[in-house]
């Protein structure tokens, strides 16, 4: 069954995504990251190359011919075909398509009301699906 973790109160969603993706990769996990648009996806791509100078986090965009052999895939909201189904990181406001195929969904939520309202709706959806839910305050680094 899919489990879901919400990281609320995130000052810099891309920085948190890079940190969590690094931890996931270093523990042998594979992940898909859903971005709301191509511009944010490209920013995440650049940030993954530069976030940790001594650490390499292998990643490609979803359309790459290397996607099936790369542990971190960056895609755009609405895409549904992914080469692996271990972890899904959602940076978009929409409910990720086919999220129930993944072992774990990570929702990264900023501080603005424009991010909070859709996040609440996603929480309700996951709850109705009876997915196990956990919430964390990303800034204070505590479980809620």
Tally the domains of the chain. 1
Is the whole model's pTM more than 0.85, yes or no? yes
Mean pLDDT of 115-139: 96
Mean pLDDT of 68-72: 96
Across-strand partners of 7?
A: 108, 136
Does residue 3 form part of some domain?
Answer: no
Does residue 113 form part of some domain?
Answer: yes
Q: What percent of the chain has pLDDT over 70?
A: 97
Does residue 2 form part of some domain?
Answer: no
Does residue 5 form part of some domain?
Answer: no
Does residue 15 form part of some domain?
Answer: yes
Mean pLDDT of the chain: 94
Does residue 103 form part of some domain?
Answer: yes
Does residue 124 form part of some domain?
Answer: yes
CATH number of the domain within which 27 lies: 3.40.50.10110
pLDDT at 101: 95
Helix (H, G, I), strand (E, B) or coil at 133: strand
The pLDDT tens digits of the residues spanning 18-27 come to 999 999 999 9
Nearest Cα neighbor of 109 from 5, 6, 2 is 6
The pLDDT tens digits of the residues spanning 11-57 come to 999 999 999 999 999 999 999 999 999 999 999 999 998 766 667 78
State how far the alpha carbon of 116 is from the alpha carbons of 9, 12, 32, 52, 123, in Å. Answer: 9, 14, 22, 29, 10
User: Could you list the residue range(s) of the whole structural domain that residue 49 is in?
Assistant: 10-143
Does residue 4 form part of some domain?
Answer: no
- Between 49 and 109, residue with greater pLDDT: 109
């Amino acid at each position: 069954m899919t489990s879901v973790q919400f990281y609320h109160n995130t000052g810099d969603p891309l920085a948190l995504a890079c940190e969590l993706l690094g931890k996931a990769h270093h523990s042998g996990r594979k992940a898909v990251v859903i971005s709301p648009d191509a511009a944010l996806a490209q920013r995440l791509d650049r940030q993954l190359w530069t976030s940790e100078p001594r650490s390499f986090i292998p990643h490609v965009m979803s359309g790459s011919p290397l996607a099936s052999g790369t542990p971190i895939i960056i895609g755009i909201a609405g895409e549904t075909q992914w080469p692996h189904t271990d972890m899904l990181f959602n940076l978009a406001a929409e409910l990720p398509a086919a999220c129930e195929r993944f072992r774990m969904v990570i929702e990264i939520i900023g501080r603005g009301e424009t991010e909070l309202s859709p996040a609440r709706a996603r929480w309700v959806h996951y709850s109705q699906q009876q997915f196990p839910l956990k919430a964390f305050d990303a800034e204070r680094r505590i479980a809620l």
